[in-house]
Amino acid sequence: MRKIASDFMIEAHELRRSFGRKEAVKSISFSVRRGEIFGLLGPNGAGKTTTIRMLTGQIEPDGGTARVAGCDVVKEHEQLKQRIGVVFEEQNLYERLSARLNLEFSCWLYGLPRQRVDEVLTLVDLRERARDPVRTFSNGMRQRLVIARALLHRPPMLFLDEPGRGLDPLSARAIRQTIKQLSAEGITILLTTHLMDEADQLCQQVGFIVDGRLVACDTPRNLKLSHGQRRLTVTLQAGQLPAHNECFEDILLDMDDVHDQERLCRLIAQGRIRALHTHEASLEEVFVAVAGVQLV
């Protein structure tokens, strides 16, 4: 396999794509560094899946260029297939076949040895259920299996389209852990989601996509800091009530106000502070502020 020279695993430049009269993606440009988890966030119909389809070579862009894992997505389509793994929004598995047969089929397609099946089944903790038909699997197990399938040929770049959709909290957490583990192993990941908490926990960089345009792109921390308020809510002990029940009082302090800074120091010295809360914006609040639309 050809070595990837660039530090960037994805370099998209002014990508455009229309379906009939509908412009699904309008001139999107962004880049993703090697080993990074990049989140493409946006409401349904914003153009996330179309962007992934262009980057994975499933559809050709109407305009612009993109290189993924060192391959031009249009001109080097066949090489690209060997370097990417894709987890689709739909859990598109062969339901009647067992988990093992689903993975073995992918091994036949890529010309891989069968031992690789056991390795990925172990990675996603499905070895015990390997012989069971997929139709008997829960949503979470299916999602782990599609991730296992995407990893079979050891791609350096992984695309995950809505990996947490429809999963219960425990399954979603297991998937997030798997994604973090893959990132720690050096795999670059681009994921789309409309779950802001998921993106906040996983991504080193996020891009907000609205109506086919990338309206913001930065680290979650920078985005939150740039749109948050520099204020503190301080919870104080106000006095002692009967039956040893404490009475609390909340006060709001401006971190840029000199008087409030001095007051905070005094309260700390008096030992009356029970809790401190920053007014950092959530990623969802930043999205609403930047995009002007709610996530659906």
**Residue 256, interface with another protein (CB under 8 A)?**
no
Q: Quick check: 27 and 213 in contact, CB under 8 A?
A: yes
Min CB(264)–another protein separation in Å: 55
Position among 53, 116, 129, 227 found at the interface with another protein (CB under 8 A): 53
Whose structure tokens read 């139709």?
A: 135
CA dist 59 and 15 (Å) reads 12
Q: Residue 175's CB: how many other CB atoms inside 10 A?
A: 22
Question: Residue 82 burial (CB < 10 Å; 0-12/13-18/19+)?
Answer: middle
Strands 37-41 and 71-72: unpaired
Report how many residues bind another protein under the rule CB under 8 A: 27
Instruction: Name the residue nearer to another protein (CB basis): 87 or 264.
Output: 87
Position among 4, 10, 86, 210 found at the interface with another protein (CB under 8 A): 86
**Residue 133, interface with another protein (CB under 8 A)?**
yes
Position among 27, 101, 217, 285 found at the interface with another protein (CB under 8 A): 101
**Residue 111, interface with another protein (CB under 8 A)?**
yes
Counting Cα atoms < 13 Å in the Cβ hemisphere of 250 gives 8
Helix (H) or strand (E) holding 96: none
**Residue 124, interface with another protein (CB under 8 A)?**
no
Closest CA to 265 of 242, 234, 287: 234
**Residue 1, interface with another protein (CB under 8 A)?**
no
CA dist 1 and 60 (Å) reads 24
Position among 14, 75, 110, 265 found at the interface with another protein (CB under 8 A): 110
**Residue 59, interface with another protein (CB under 8 A)?**
yes
**Cβ-proximal residues to 14 (8 Å cutoff; 6+ apart), any chain:** 27, 28, 29, 63, 64, 65
Position among 8, 38, 88, 137 found at the interface with another protein (CB under 8 A): 88
Position among 36, 65, 105, 232 found at the interface with another protein (CB under 8 A): 105
Min CB(231)–another protein separation in Å: 47
Closest CA to 204 of 183, 225, 181: 183
Position among 96, 114, 221, 279 found at the interface with another protein (CB under 8 A): 96
**Residue 45, interface with another protein (CB under 8 A)?**
no
CA dist 104 and 152 (Å) reads 9
Kindly list the residues in this chain that would bind another protein in the complex (CB under 8 A).
53, 56-59, 78, 81-82, 84, 86, 88, 90, 92-97, 101, 105-106, 108-111, 133, 149
